[in-house]
């Protein structure tokens, strides 16, 4: 089964994907939210192209673990995706995913300071897609950890 993950913001939606085995997670793209209908159509088309059946949506809980205003806006948007036949939507705690993505980009050299508005926009789009990749990796790691030992495949890494 293939997966997509979304980091849903008010202006942009970062998207990441995983291979069918759920091993390699990659930041894919960022959609600008001009209209929810347009973005839902683009996400649905990408899911179909990649054979994704599950979309993991980062839910920005408050630091206290509650659903705040931003999380409610994410759920409002995601309800449109939940109506798409053949897609399963799963919410995942995304607290600190953008911070972790920023750290990973900085470590890999992919988050450099550049000047000018277009450079800032491009950097922000890379960060949104990288945050979606963090969300998806966390979700897939939790799935692997929850699987019984006899259900793991040869070559799977045992959790510590």
* Domain total in the chain: 1
156: in domain: no
Model confidence pLDDT, tens digit, residues 2-53:
899 999 999 999 999 998 888 889 999 999 999 999 999 999 999 999 999 9
> Hey, CA dihedral for 129, 132, 134, 140, is it positive or negative?
negative
Bigger pLDDT: 108 vs 61: 61
158: in domain: no
Is residue 110 scored above 90 in pLDDT?
Answer: no
154: in domain: no
Could you list the residue range(s) of the whole structural domain that residue 26 is in?
A: 2-149
Is residue 111 scored above 50 in pLDDT?
Answer: no
131: in domain: yes
* Predicted local distance difference test score (pLDDT) of residue 115: 54
What is the CATH number for 112?
3.30.420.140
């Amino acid at each position: 089964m293939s997966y997509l993950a979304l980091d849903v913001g008010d202006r942009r939606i970062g998207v990441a994907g995983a291979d069918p085995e759920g091993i390699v997670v990659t930041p894919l793209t960022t959609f600008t939210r001009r209209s929810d209908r347009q973005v839902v159509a683009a996400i649905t088309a990408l899911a179909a192209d990649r054979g994704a059946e599950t979309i993991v949506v980062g839910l920005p809980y408050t630091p206290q673990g509650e659903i705040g205003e931003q999380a409610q806006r994410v759920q409002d948007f995601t309800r449109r995706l939940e109506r798409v036949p053949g897609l399963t939507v799963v919410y995942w705690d995304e607290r600190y995913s953008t911070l972790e993505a920023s750290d990973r980009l900085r470590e890999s050299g992919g988050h450099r300071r550049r000047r000018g508005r277009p450079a800032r926009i491009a950097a922000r789009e890379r960060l949104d897609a990288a945050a979606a990749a963090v969300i998806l990796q966390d979700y897939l790691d939790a799935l692997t950890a929850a699987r019984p030992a006899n259900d793991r495949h040869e070559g799977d890494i045992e959790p510590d």
